[in-house]
Amino acid sequence: MNSPLAPKRAMRLILALSVGLSLGAEALAQSAGAVAPRTYAVKDKNGAPLPAYTIPDDASIFERPDAEAVFYGQRLLNETQRLLPDHVGAAMNCNSCHVMQGKKPLGAPFINTYNSFPQFNPRAEREMTLEERINGCMIRSMNGKKLPVDSREMRAMVAYMKWLAQDVPHGARVQIKNASPFDTSLVPDPVRGRALYAQQCASCHGADGEGLKDARGHIVFPPLWGDESFNIGAGLARTYKAAAFIHDNMPMGVHTDGAWGEGRTLSQQDAVDIAEFFTHMPRPDFPLKDKDWPSGKKPKDARY
């Protein structure tokens, strides 16, 4: 980029440098006042207690025989668009939504993921393997193409999720939530949502939901709508799923505590109003939509 930055854009870049780029790393959490706990109770299938789980330090990856695969998986989740340009259609990385590399409770974490697959998928109405579920996010949230199940990339992503699960046995659960319960009886008001978006979100995600890239074209703030966002088949295209995500995680950088200074400034009503507004702005279609919910048992916020 040769032209000087417009002041508003420059301000967003500074915000990005001070807040956005340190994400994913634990640096922000470490320097904050109250840090989210790292140790959680574990229960087996029958609810009996097992030894506690602690979110592992990245340095422990070096001690593993599969260290190379785990580190590659971690990079792929962080820099998905840059490393897999032929497979990713959106200006999005996996960790744009799986907050802090899948280590943040309520931020779509991967902590229980490895141990909870294969799993029944309500949208497909059948059981799915972990690889199939990852490809679900590839073709919907990333608006891209499936990775071959036995590719080095797929195996690396799974290796990272396996490392994150540590020695929790298959079928047991670390006692965290992937998202907080959300009141789906709230009636969204997208007009109010548009105004709240301008106040609370546009500084990072852009006035037109376009997000922000650095001079090399790498993602700093992911887009919330438009051609480069997730498609209508993504979980986040649904009002109440998006509302729960932003209620728990956005706006980030507004406090000096918590995992990344996030949230707790939007009421559930605010979140549902903003979510209805941005999820229904123009975004790519999902060509395989006819195959979802084959027997018609759709949630009320399904997009098709």
The binding site for ligand HEC (CB under 6 A) comprises 15, 19-20, 23-24, 80, 92, 94-99, 108, 112-113, 116, 133-134, 137-138, 141-142, 157, 200-201, 203-205, 221-224, 230, 234-236, 241-242, 245-246, 250-253, 266, 274, 278
In a 3-state reduction of DSSP, which class is residue 41?
Answer: strand
Nearer to ligand HEC, 63 or 86 (CB): 86
Comparing CA positions, the residue from 204, 197, 263 lying closest to residue 18 is 204
Nearer to ligand HEC, 61 or 97 (CB): 97
Nearer to ligand HEC, 36 or 92 (CB): 92
Nearer to ligand HEC, 61 or 236 (CB): 236
Q: How far apart are CA 66 and CA 68, in angstroms?
A: 6
Shortest distance (Å) from residue 274 CB to ligand HEC: 5
Q: How far is CA 183 from the centre of its chain?
A: 21
The first and second tokens of residue 65, run together, are 């025989």
Shortest distance (Å) from residue 222 CB to ligand HEC: 3
Shortest distance (Å) from residue 304 CB to ligand HEC: 16
Q: Are strands 49-54 and 39-43 parallel, antiparallel or unpaired?
A: antiparallel
Q: How far apart are CA 118 and CA 158, in angstroms?
A: 13
Shortest distance (Å) from residue 47 CB to ligand HEC: 19
For 49, half-sphere exposure in the C-beta direction (CA atoms, 13 angstrom radius) is 4
Shortest distance (Å) from residue 2 CB to ligand HEC: 26
Whether residue 86 contacts residue 76, with contact meaning beta carbons closer than 8 Å, is answered with no
